[in-house]
A = this chain, B = another copy of it.
Amino acid sequence: MTLLNELITLNADYAAAIDDDRLEDWPSFFTEKCFYRITTAQNHARGLPAGLVYADTRQMLVDRVLSLRKANIYERQAYRHLIGLPRVESEDNGIVRARTSFAVLRIMRTGETEIFASGNFLDELARVDDQLLLQRRDVICDSQRIDTLLALPL
């Protein structure tokens, strides 16, 4: 499989884990020591480090899923990721850098569908046991409005 096809598959699987409500599978796309952040384009451009969501180990992602399950917010709505075509930026010493556009639709229990978020995944990936894993994913959201709505992983 080409690197591009690997990235297509990784992103499609990642999105499906969230959209199919298999949130427990979501941390498995990351390396154990990792970096995951959700922030806005404005904050990212200003170089502000703190994001809306922040984790630097896979365990923190596991914990986040546990609290989402407890809060039970997630169950009242469904999401549908629309993942763009991945762009490979570089591949050096086994580290792949890639960027991928995304949009997420939110489907409320009432049936209404709205655009929940859009943005860019800025990724660093490493190969662990022959599998491509995210060692860093910066989720850069286009809109400033995202913070008040945020519940699920993006």
Contact = CB atoms under 8 A, between A and B. Distances in A.
* Number of this chain's copies in the complex: 3
A120 B85 contact: no
Interface residues of A, number: 44
Contacts of A111: 143-146
A105 interface: yes
A12 B80 contact: no
A54 B92 CA distance: 41
Given A4-B9, A78-B41, A85-B12, A115 B120 contact: no
B142 A86 contact: no
Contact of A142 (B113, B143, B144): B113
Interface string A120-154: 10000000000000000000001111100000000
Interface of A: 1-2, 4-5, 8-9, 11-13, 15-16, 19-20, 41, 78, 80-88, 99, 101, 103, 105, 107, 109-115, 118-120, 142-146
